[in-house]
Amino acid sequence: MVATFDNKKLVAVKDIKIKKGMTANDLVKMMGKSGGFTAQKLSDAADIVEKMFKKKDCLRILSFPACIMATGTRGVIVDMVKKGFIDVIITTCGTLDHDLSRTWASYYKGDFLMDDAKLRDNGISRLGNVLVPDDCYGIVLEDNLLPMFDDIFKDTTSLSTHEIIDQVGARLDDEDSLLYQCHKHNVPIVVPGITDGSFGCQLWMYYQMHRKLRIDLFADEQMLSEMTDEAKNTGAIIIGGGISKHHVIWWNQFRGGLDYAIYLTTAQEYDGSLSGAQIREAVSWGKVKANAKKMTVEGDATINLPLIIAAVEDRL
């Protein structure tokens, strides 16, 4: 019976045993012994995240697209900030939209197969199986943000995205809000594509009457450059792709690459897209170190992220 391969001892596949009262960590550790398929990857990812969180002098970066903030997984991200697991966030404009909208109003559970024409007739937008009424989104943002901008820009005409976002967070009082918690715990949020969403649109509307207003994107890049350059180690949990993912790996290439990298994705790599590119491809660009602790986990992040963080929190 084969017990070794290439001079390495093989590990036998173990069955998962579900028991009453078992923890998320118990389950994830069993997944690591099960030998199949994405369960093994998820367990390996949890091990890497644990190492990343425990590593001293490690800059921990979180990136994700906006859609996840429309779901209850927002609470996992907020808790990661509250518990000091994250040092900087890079995301898209819609993250601000959804976090603020849900601070001032409510989203609702829906279904992927609902009649979209009827939803529009009733003033409801569908984000997957989440329902976003018009009066809970654009309207509520306009009513609350424009007065804030008057206060934020009363003594200046130029701020970076992370400075604007921090100033908005400073004016909130909601423990469930990401912007509030990031301000409270000094975790900067960088949004490279700040105009690609309702928050950015509100800034543009404010600009119509305040033509000297400028958004200092270079200040965001300077901060990210200095943070990654000065870090002895860097690690990232990257959810989804696009501009937020690329911004993480882009700035890490100038220091030789990430030391830890977890990528949670539903995209495929056969089309050559950045979103589909697995973490191992970033090694060829020098954006992730060849010897980095790294893992790509395919699947829905609203399932995988809570499992990983719940398991790691048990270990910490």
Active site residues: 287
Torsion 180-181-183-189 (CA) sign: negative
- Whole-angstrom Cα distance, residue 24 to residue 26? 5
**239 contacts 274 by C-beta, under 8 angstroms:** no
